[in-house]
Homo-oligomer: A and B are copies of this chain.
C-alpha cells in the first residue's frame, strides 16, 4: 500500500488549499469564504460553491448569535452529532426535537411529517436561534409556514435539506423570501447533515482568515 498523509494538521491544510485553488472563492464576500470552505470540505465537492445562496450578513449574524448564546435547533440527530461542541462559544444548547415522544401524534394532527411536527416544538427557542436543517425538506417548508404565521424569527437559517422531493423547492423558497431571517442554503437536490453541521461549525469557530 502506498504511504498516505497521517498528520491531521497537514490533512486540513492540504484540504483547504485544494478547496481554495479549485473553488475560486474570491468571487464571494470575504466573510462567507471560510464558511464556504468548510461546506465544500464537508461534502468533497468544490462545485457546490456555484449553487450556494446566502444573505449578505449571514456569516456575521450567525457568528454573533452563537457568541450571544443562541441555541442551535437541528432537524435530525445526525446534524446534532456533527456539531463540534468545543467550538461552540457559549456552551450553546444543541436541540433536536425529532424524537420527542409527542412528535408522532403532533404529525398526525398537523397532517405533515414527523420532521415538520418536530419544528412545532421549537417555538420557545426560536427567537434569535441558529436553525440547522440537514435532512427534511418538510422541516424547512413548515418552518417557513410558521414564520408566515408570525412565529419568532431565528437569527439565521442554515437550510440544507437533501433529496428528490421538496429539497430543491424548499431551499428555493427560503432564498426567494427568507422572512426577515439571514440564511445560507444550497440550491438543488444536494445538501445533507454533514453540510448543515459544517455550517454551524464554521459560524461557531469564527471566521479566521487562514481557513
Using a CB–CB distance below 8 Å, which chain A residues touch chain B?
1-2, 4-8, 11, 14-15, 18-19, 41-45, 76-78, 80-82, 111-114, 116, 137-138, 141, 144-145, 148, 162-167, 169-170, 173, 188-194, 197
Contacts and interface: CB of A to CB of B under 8 A. Distances in A.
B114 A164 contact: no
A194 to B, nearest CB: 5
28 contacts: A1-B141, A1-B148, A4-B137, A4-B138, A5-B166, A6-B138, A8-B113, A11-B113, A11-B138, A11-B166, A14-B164, A42-B162, A43-B192, A44-B189, A44-B190, A44-B191, A44-B192, A45-B190, A77-B82, A78-B78, A78-B81, A78-B82, A78-B193, A78-B194, A81-B81, A162-B194, A192-B192, A194-B194
A116 B144 CA distance: 42
Find the residue from A6, A82, A144 having the highest chain B CB count within 10 A: A6
Counted per complex, copies of this chain come to 2
Given A81-B77, A192-B192, A197-B78, A41 B8 contact: no
Q: Is the interface of A mostly helix, strand, loop or mixed?
A: helix
Contacts of A164: 14-15, 18-19, 41, 44
A29 B189 CA distance: 26
B193 A82 contact: yes
For the complex of A and B, list the 4 residue pairs with the smallest distance between their C-beta atoms, beginning with the closest. A44-B189, A81-B81, A77-B81, A18-B164
A209 to B, nearest CB: 20
Given A1-B173, A2-B169, A6-B116, 5 more contacts: A4-B170, A11-B166, A76-B81, A80-B81, A193-B194
B113 A167 contact: no
A176 to B, nearest CB: 9
